[in-house]
Structure 1
Amino acid sequence: MRGAFHRMPTSPVGLSRGMCTHNDTAAFRRTPRAPLPGRADACPVMDETEFWEIVDSTREAADGDPEDHAELLVERLLRADPDAVLDFARHFEARYNRAYRWDLWGAAWVLLDGVSDDAFDYFRCWLIGQGREVFEGALHDPDSLADLLDGFDEELDGDGEELGYAADEAYEQLTGVVAPDLGIAPAPPEPEGTPIDFEDDAVLAQRYPKLWERFAAP
């Protein structure tokens, strides 16, 4: 995939909700990026505030639709210069890696009724796309997603795969070359924190009481 991870030349593995396949497929399917070019000015072109403003404005313009959001995000980044696009990609990837946690995976599992490793990749992209308040709130307490998400459509929401490609697509359109390595440390091979038994409903109901009541309780 791009942005947070490069798209492979073969078609991506489809989502398979309801089963965890972390050991069967790599959480990251990156192709090598070009070396990061030097920049005379080491200061970021795009700061965190502008990053979130772009995420929010494009999501609102898309009325929350993840695919439309990704398209509008590419269009918005095409109005920036290439260095700013790379800074956007760095902000995105750093947050994507921060969200690689077992407790957040468990919350996504309850929210979506099962999440494979690929689907969790896409969920993290979608979570970033929901904006700073939702993203930081979910990292502080994953169960708070039950309160932070005003409306949630399981068929539409929770999958932000294309958002992960947006920055690279914009960069390639602007420059005609593949985006260079971002200089961001990769996420660890395993999620942060203590593994959770996703198949144990009692464990999930206890760990995520608000999410369970809203999205999973009979």
Structure 2
Amino acid sequence: MNIDTFWQIISTVRSQDDVNLALRTSLSTLDKHEIAEFDELYTQQLRKLWHWDNWAFAYVMCGCNSEYDFLDFCNWLILQGDEILAQILSNPDRLADYEHVPMIDDLPAPYCDELDLVAGLLYEDVTGEELPYHNVVNFQPQGKKFKNKPKLLKEQFPKLFSKYWQQK
């Protein structure tokens, strides 16, 4: 398993209604070593995203205010694929024009619950053994914590703020 194969798998599941089931189905064709490698690559992507700068735009966009909400937001970001992810990270304000943001009751809901667990759970089902748990949530995000003052967030993410900011 290499990073290109990882992103190919992500691209095949991202448009499915149940992405967790689609990912599990896709990974179930792999041997246990490849499942473990996918899990490791997934964790590497999460750790790259686990940064206060990314949490800041998640906060503006959807009020993301807990580690678990942010984890689910990062899962959603990964699902967008490597090219879109790179574009978003280089300019988060692009998300204001991104057409594929899920909405629930007219509010943005860019979350994907438990996608980070799929490979590990499948590995356990296949082998009867657990993969090492790659904890991301209990680590402090990289960088400097953002200030959640509306004025500062509006300056940093003007388009996102204009489109998504709700009175927090």
Aligned to 1:163: 115
Aligned to 1:4: none
Aligned partner (choices 151, 157, 161) of residue 208 of structure 1: 157
User: CA distance change for structure 1 residues 186 and 115 in 2, over 3 Å: closer, same or farther?
Assistant: closer
Aligned to 1:193: 143
Q: What is the one-letter code of the residue matched to 1:93?
A: T
Instruction: Check the 8 A contact 1:103/1:142 in 2, yes or no.
Output: no
Mapped partners of 1:108, 1:186: distance in 2 = 17
Instruction: Check the 8 A contact 2:71/2:137 in 1, yes or no.
Output: no
Mapped partners of 2:88, 2:29: distance in 1 = 31
Aligned to 2:129: 177
Aligned to 1:152: 101
Aligned partner (choices 66, 71, 79) of residue 121 of structure 1: 71
Mapped partners of 1:166, 1:140: distance in 2 = 28
For normalisation by structure 2, the TM-score amounts to 0.86
Q: What is the one-letter code of the residue matched to 2:141?
A: P
Q: What is the one-letter code of the residue matched to 1:50?
A: T
Aligned to 2:3: 48
Mapped partners of 1:114, 1:176: distance in 2 = 35
Instruction: Check the 8 A contact 1:112/1:158 in 2, yes or no.
Output: yes
Instruction: Check the 8 A contact 2:27/2:119 in 1, yes or no.
Output: yes
Instruction: Check the 8 A contact 1:126/1:160 in 2, yes or no.
Output: yes
Stretches of structure 1 that go unaligned for 5 or more consecutive residues are 1-45
RMSD of the alignment, in Å?
2.3
Post-superposition Cα deviations, 1:11-70, rounded to whole Å, max 9, x if no partner, equal xxxxxxxxxxxxxxxxxxxxxxxxxxxxxxxxxxx111110110011112x1xx4xx001
Mapped partners of 2:57, 2:99: distance in 1 = 16
Larger radius of gyration: 1
For normalisation by structure 1, the TM-score amounts to 0.68
Stretches of structure 2 that go unaligned for 5 or more consecutive residues are none
Mapped partners of 2:74, 2:133: distance in 1 = 20
Determine what percentage of the aligned residue pairs are the same residue. Answer: 27
Structure with more of its chain in helix, by fraction = 2
Q: What is the one-letter code of the residue matched to 2:159?
A: K
Post-superposition Cα deviations, 1:136-184, rounded to whole Å, max 9, x if no partner, equal 223223223223x2132243742222211110122112212212467xx
The count of corresponding residues between Structure 1 and Structure 2 is 164
